[in-house]
């Protein structure tokens, strides 16, 4: 049975990562299993930046954004030598179980580590993008959506004051999960996502139609990975045909900060505890996720090779509700 667990956070940070770390540490403590924290993701593992963690180490943490361990991206980890060094560092620290909190890049590293060493590994989906197969939601997604919606609620005031259209760019890497949820929840008039080819002519015509119907301000949510480009590019391409004044607002890394929502704290607690349970029950090479409130396990490879469905019926709902 796994005797000592290492936990790390890797890739883009997400609100709720700390709640997941807390759940790993306290669940392991309840089973009298030691936990060490690995700072700065795989970069810290390569530098052996290891810290002992106990129940008190994660006190007063559940409500804090970011990650107490820090995170980083590591090019060295993508090399055979780097991978070997990371595996040796884990084994020399007596770590025989790894909980890797992050996205697909994090899980690729964890899978490779398990393949060249005796270390078992389990992934916890920690990214605001929600672009991992095998979980209804990733840790950080709900918080990021809430942050973006709050920002758009503020933009509405000034858009209405000036009879303006706002192009609002949100994160999400190559998927439109953040953009679509934000679009519906913020009552946006349009949302541009990578999953649906963007027709700028149709967008421009829709804006004109709504203006003629008396809608004097509009919000267009743009996913950063949209096929038509980033928000500023789209605004530049449309500017000469738009019949109303417009501005662009890129929400950027604001979406990654702030206190995790209750929903993110809940799934982070479930998944941090679930990851420890999976390791202690002898399983490895899987990501723990939540579906219909239940914790499930998905083989690492499927989390990035299988495409997660986007609820495109929300697009139709938006069209109806944005009239
Ligand atoms: O993966 C999370 C994420 O916030 C993406 O949505 C975004 O494209 C990327 O990270 C930004 O990466 P960085 O923080 O390195 O600029």
Domains for the chain: give ranges and CATH numbers.
4-140+260-305 (3.40.50.450), 142-257 (3.40.50.460)
- For ligand 1, atom 5, which residue shows the shortest CA distance? 173
DSSP string, 164-184: -EEEEEE--TT--HHHHHHHH
Strand partners of residue 298: 287
Mutate to test the pocket of ligand 1, among 73, 129, 181 (most ligand atoms within 8 A of CB): 129
Say whether pLDDT at 319 is over 90.
no
Quick: pLDDT tens for 264-308. Answer: 999 999 999 999 999 999 999 999 999 999 999 999 999 999 999
DSSP state of 7: E
User: What's the pLDDT at 114?
Assistant: 97
Ligand 1 binding pocket includes 138 (Cβ within 6 Å):
no
User: Strand pairing partners for 167?
Assistant: 220, 248
Residue 129 Cα: closest atom of ligand 1: 6
CA-nearest residue for atom 12, ligand 1, is: 12
pLDDT band at 243 (very low <50, low <70, confident <90, very high): confident
- Residue 85 dihedral angles phi and psi, to the nearest 5°: -65, -40
- Given the CA of residue 13, which atom of ligand 1 is nearest to it? 2
Contact predicate 171/304, CB 8 Å: no
Ligand 1 pocket, 128 CB below 6 A? yes
Protein residue whose Cα sits closest to atom 2 of ligand 1? 12
Q: Indicate which residue's Cα is closest to atom 13 of ligand 1.
A: 12
């Amino acid at each position: 049975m796994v005797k000592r667990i290492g936990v790390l956070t890797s890739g883009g940070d997400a609100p709720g990562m700390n709640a997941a770390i807390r759940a790993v540490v306290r669940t392991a403590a309840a089973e009298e299993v030691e936990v060490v924290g690995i700072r700065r993701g795989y970069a810290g593992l390569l530098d052996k930046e290891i810290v002992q963690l106990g129940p008190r180490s994660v006190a007063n943490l559940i409500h804090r954004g970011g990650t107490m361990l820090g995170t980083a991206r590591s090019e060295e980890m993508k090399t055979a030598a780097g991978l070997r060094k990371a595996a040796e560092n884990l084994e020399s620290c007596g770590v025989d179980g790894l909980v890797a909190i992050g996205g697909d890049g994090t899980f690729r590293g964890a899978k490779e580590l398990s393949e060249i060493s005796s270390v078992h590994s389990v992934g916890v989906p920690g990214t605001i993008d929600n672009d991992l197969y095998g979980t209804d939601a990733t840790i950080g997604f709900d918080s990021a959506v809430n942050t973006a919606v709050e920002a758009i609620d503020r933009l509405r005031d000034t858009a209405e004051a000036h009879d303006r259209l706002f192009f609002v760019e949100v994160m999400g890497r190559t998927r439109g999960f953040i953009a679509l949820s934000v679009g519906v929840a913020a009552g946006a008039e349009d949302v541009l996502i990578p999953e649906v080819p963007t027709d700028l002519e149709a967008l421009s015509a829709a804006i004109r139609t709504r203006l003629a119907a008396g809608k004097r301000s509009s919000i267009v949510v743009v996913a950063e990975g949209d096929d038509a480009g980033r928000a500023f590019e789209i605004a530049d391409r449309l500017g000469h045909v738009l019949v109303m004044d417009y501005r662009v607002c890129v929400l950027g890394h604001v979406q990654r900060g702030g206190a995790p929502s209750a929903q993110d704290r809940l799934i982070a607690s479930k998944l941090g505890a679930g990851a420890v349970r999976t390791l202690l029950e002898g399983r490895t090479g899987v990501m723990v996720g939540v579906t219909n409130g239940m914790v499930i396990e998905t083989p690492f490879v499927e989390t990035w090779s299988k495409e997660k469905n986007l609820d495109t019926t929300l697009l139709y709902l938006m069209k109806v509700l944005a009239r």
